[in-house]
Amino acid sequence: MKSFTTILLMFILLPFDTQAKRYWPSKTLTKWSFYMNNGVAYIRSDEFASHCRYSRGQINMDGTEFNRAQYSYALSAKARNKKLRYVVDSDQTICIITGLQEVD
């Protein structure tokens, strides 16, 4: 019973905002490149969020429908020379892109 109470108190007393948050960075990618390396698709730009290592974000090519769709979306945007907005996690330095949006 004592361990249950301790665990319950930990959940109550620990702040919930310590978790990382996904967000849309305010800066739009106007000059960006798109390439693949070792089964991972990368979007690289000097305009990436400062916490993203190597000024890039990655789309994991793990075979899920969502990641294949993101890859296709980025490829299409690059072919049409579109600007991009993206979603990343605020606490990751190897930024994994979890959303994309074209901007005119």
Secondary element (H or E) of residue 13: helix 2-13
In the chain, DSSP finds a helix count (H) and a strand count (E) of 2, 7
Which residues have C-beta within 8 Å of that of residue 93, sequence separation ≥ 6?
A: 51, 52, 53
Q: What is the pLDDT along the chain (104 residues), one digit of tens a residue?
A: 655 555 544 555 555 555 668 999 999 999 999 999 998 999 999 999 999 999 999 999 998 999 999 999 999 999 999 999 999 999 899 999 999 999 98
| β-sheet with 83-89: strand ranges across | 22-23, 83-89, 99-103
Distance of alpha carbon 44 from alpha carbon 58, whole angstroms:
9
pTM score, two decimals? 0.78
